[in-house]
């Protein structure tokens, strides 16, 4: 019984070892140790090793039956042997496994690898690039980008005006929300004008462009009249209408852009000196600049000259003529800057001839202190210290310094990126437009935004002398907000008149923003009849200058009268029959010729046999179809 218990205990032990081996793979054993254990297990199958050896030694005859019977007949010795065998440590037996399954099983003895898998940077970049190309390839991408940038800049401008003007507004009027309320009213009016420009067709702007520039010039004259114009800090620049200040010099920017684009879009020949482009645009620009200088307002005068230069450049003015005008403009700007004491003080402070941080260079120095205080992440929105009467005009000319202090370097670079993106979208619209008016208008508006923004940012960070040019949309100024939003509306209108956008909006029912805003379907650009006739004349002149002989005029066949006899068997099909072609039932058999032979054919005089009735031939099939 003890032997049976020992055997059953050994079998249970082996089963437990086999179960453990199924989950734990012992790889530390070598092949030699595994063979020794197999041999040992084979010798221990019949009982104790010592008993087997003694029995084999006593039996000299080689018969093992006595030993076997002795083992079976001696039940008293079995418990001792089995107990000794149980107390002896036995090596673990491994369960035989399929070699294929063992090769496929994971090796648990290997060290765990916690390192991250390699990132496919090239695949990520390729996917991002393809996604951007797909997004930019949509027909209304330009319109949506202009609309998004308009909303972002308007909201950001109102927030920063509230933050920068709260202290000064409370000190003057007893309310921290007075200036931002006025700015919000002009922003609402500007958004209405933005929406109105999307509803009005293009021909409306061209029809009333001359009227607009005349009205804007008249307002510049009226603002100089004492009692009509309002004088602030020695400058008479504003009208006061129902408590709101209106600046005519800002309104003339929009009028000049529209009128200049309309005027130059109808000019076809530039000439050597660009006389067709210069007359009447430059005289009108000089008149407007003279009226603005009398206010005085040199910064707006520079912007007006910039608008005229952009219009002439994109209209195709010669580089030498344009360079001469640029040099003349620079000389006049320097002369105007040195003609006034406070302007000259700003220039000398920038150059470094006067080092007075509490005098002429006070604003520039305080603006740099504000930017340095902001650091990378800023001090937090509304927590600026420069706006507590340390930085004059913090809500107007130097609002970028408040942005850098409260939002840090990240916020300042974000504003710069927004204007760069706006410039890229504007040039994309100008490049895609086929209407010359929209092309000139969108390019000029884009240049105006970029130059005005970077001049303001330049003198805030100390790269340019202080000029007083505002940051578009972000600076406090009701009339500036009104005009800038109107210009963005014109830019969005040009985006909706791109050829791909017109096809997309005309192909299906309006949906999305067009359905919500109820915008009209834009019309495809068609050149005027005068331009079409001029194009035909230009093509004919270019054809004759190439040495090609014009095709002969087509002879007109007399109409058959009712009294004329008809040939029997002929059928009147109503076709148009050309000379030398196929007429009626009489079809001329003509051998097909290759395309190169037909292309090389030239006009030949009629043959001698048909001198009485000339028979013209066309140079090629294309000319035959066109005529």
Tokens read off for 519: 């915008």
CA distance 94 to 378: 69
pLDDT in tens, 147-171: 999 999 999 999 999 999 999 888 8
> Can you give the pLDDT at residue 69?
42
> Can you give the pLDDT at residue 111?
56
User: Lowest mean pLDDT: which of 180-194, 213-227, 585-599?
Assistant: 585-599
> Can you give the pLDDT at residue 389?
86
CA distance 105 to 102: 5
Reduced to 3 states, what is the DSSP secondary structure of residue 235?
strand
> Can you give the pLDDT at residue 93?
52
Query: How many percent of the chain have pLDDT more than 70?
Result: 65
Look at residues 345, 339, 216 and name the one whose alpha carbon lies nearest to residue 287: 216
User: Lowest mean pLDDT: which of 304-318, 333-347, 401-415, 453-467?
Assistant: 333-347
108 has pLDDT over 90 = no
What are the distances in angstroms from CA 320 to CA 118, 180, 274, 313?
57, 47, 11, 11
The most confident of 92-96, 248-252, 441-445, by mean pLDDT = 441-445
- Supply the pTM of this predicted model: 0.68
pLDDT in tens, 71-96: 444 444 444 444 444 455 555 555 55
Tell me, what DSSP letter sits at residue 93? P
Q: Is 319 exposed, middle or buried (0-12, 13-18, 19+ CB in 10 A)?
A: exposed
Using only C-alpha atoms, what is the Rg of the chain?
47
pLDDT in tens, 513-536: 777 888 888 888 888 777 777 777
> Can you give the pLDDT at residue 451?
93
CA atoms within 13 A on the CB side of 270: 12
State the average pLDDT over residues 356-385.
88
Which has more confidence, 374 or 235?
374
Outline where 24-87 has alpha helix (H). Answer: 31-43, 49-58, 65-73, 77-87
Tell me, what DSSP letter sits at residue 244? E
Q: Are 413 and 443 in contact (CB under 8 A)?
A: no
Q: What angle do CA 121, 123, 124 make, to 5 degrees?
A: 65
> Can you give the pLDDT at residue 357?
73
State the average pLDDT over residues 300-304.
91
CA distance 55 to 382: 104
421 has pLDDT over 90 = yes
Which has more confidence, 54 or 450?
450
Close Cβ partners of 382 (under 8 Å, ≥ 6 residues apart): 163, 166, 406
Cis peptide before 296 (omega within 30 of 0): yes
State the average pLDDT over residues 96-108.
52
Look at residues 507, 505, 509 and name the one whose alpha carbon lies nearest to residue 497: 505
pLDDT in tens, 194-226: 999 999 999 899 999 999 999 999 999 999 888
State the average pLDDT over residues 300-316.
91
489 has pLDDT over 50 = yes
What element of type H or E holds 25?
A: none
Tell me, what DSSP letter sits at residue 144? H
Q: Share the mean pLDDT of the chain.
A: 75
User: Lowest mean pLDDT: which of 334-343, 462-471, 581-590?
Assistant: 581-590
578 pLDDT band (50/70/90 cuts)? very low
């Amino acid at each position: 019984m003890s032997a049976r218990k020992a055997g059953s205990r050994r079998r249970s032990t082996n089963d437990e070892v086999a179960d453990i081996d199924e989950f734990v793979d012992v790889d530390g054993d070598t092949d030699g140790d595994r063979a020794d254990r197999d041999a040992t297990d084979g010798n221990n199958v019949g009982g104790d090793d010592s008993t087997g050896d003694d029995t084999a030694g006593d039996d000299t005859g080689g018969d093992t039956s006595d030993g076997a019977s002795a083992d079976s007949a001696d039940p008293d010795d079995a418990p001792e042997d089995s107990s000794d065998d149980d107390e002896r440590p036995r090596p673990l037996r491994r369960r035989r496994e399929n070699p294929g399954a063992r090769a496929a099983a994971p090796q648990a003895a290997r060290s765990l690898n916690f390192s991250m898998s390699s990132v496919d940077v090239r695949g990520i970049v390729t996917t991002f690039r393809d996604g951007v190309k797909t997004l930019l390839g949509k027909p209304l991408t330009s319109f949506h980008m202009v609309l998004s940038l308009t909303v972002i800049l308007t909201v950001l401008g109102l927030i920063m005006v509230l933050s920068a003007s709260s202290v000064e507004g409370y000190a003057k009027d007893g309310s921290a929300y007075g200036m931002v309320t006025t700015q919000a009213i002009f922003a609402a009016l500007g958004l209405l004008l933005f929406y109105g420009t999307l509803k009005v067709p293009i021909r409306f702007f061209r029809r009333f462009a001359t009227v607009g520039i005349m009205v804007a010039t008249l307002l510049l004259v009226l603002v100089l009249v004492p009692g009509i114009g309002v004088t602030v800090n020695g400058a008479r620049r504003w009208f006061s209408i129902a408590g709101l200040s209106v600046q005519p010099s800002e309104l003339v920017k929009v009028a000049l852009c529209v009128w200049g684009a309309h005027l130059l879009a109808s000019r076809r020949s530039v000439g050597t000196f660009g006389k067709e482009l210069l007359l009447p645009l430059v005289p009108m620009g000089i008149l407007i600049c003279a009226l603005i200088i009398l206010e005085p307002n040199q910064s707006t005068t520079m912007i007006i000259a910039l608008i005229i230069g952009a219009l002439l450049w994109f209209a195709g003015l010669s580089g030498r003529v344009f360079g001469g005008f640029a040099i003349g403009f620079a000389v006049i700007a320097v002369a105007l800057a040195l003609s006034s004491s406070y302007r000259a003080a700003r220039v000398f402070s920038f150059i470094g001839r006067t080092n007075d941080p509490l005098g002429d260079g006070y604003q520039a120095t305080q603006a740099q202190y504000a930017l340095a205080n902001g650091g990378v992440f800023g001090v937090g929105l509304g927590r600026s210290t420069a706006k507590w009467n340390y930085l004059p005009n913090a809500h107007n000319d130097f609002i970028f310094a408040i942005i850098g202090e409260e939002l840090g370097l990240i916020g300042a670079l974000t504003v710069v990126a927004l204007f760069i993106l706006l410039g890229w979208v504007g040039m994309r619209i100008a490049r895609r437009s086929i209407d010359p008016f929209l092309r000139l208008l969108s390019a000029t508006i884009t240049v105006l935004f970029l130059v005005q923004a970077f001049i303001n940012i330049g003198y805030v960070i100390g790269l340019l002398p202080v000029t007083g040019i505002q940051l578009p949309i972000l600076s406090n100024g009701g009339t500036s907000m009104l005009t800038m939003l109107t210009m963005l509306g014109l830019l969005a209108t040009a985006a909706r008149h791109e050829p791909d956008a017109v096809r997309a909006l005309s192909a299906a029912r309006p949906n999305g923003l067009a359905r919500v805003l109820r915008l009209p379907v834009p019309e495809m650009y068609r050149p005027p009849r005068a331009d079409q006739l001029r194009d035909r004349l230009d093509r004919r002149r270019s054809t004759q200058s190439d040495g090609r002989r014009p095709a002969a005029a087509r002879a007109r066949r007399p109409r058959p009268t009712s009294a004329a006899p008809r040939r029997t068997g002929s059928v009147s099909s109503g076709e148009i029959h050309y000379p030398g072609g196929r007429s009626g039932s009489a079809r001329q058999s003509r051998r097909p010729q290759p395309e190169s032979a037909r292309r090389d054919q030239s006009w030949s005089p009629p043959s001698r046999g048909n001198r009485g009735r000339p028979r013209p031939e066309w140079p090629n099939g294309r000319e035959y179809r066109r005529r």
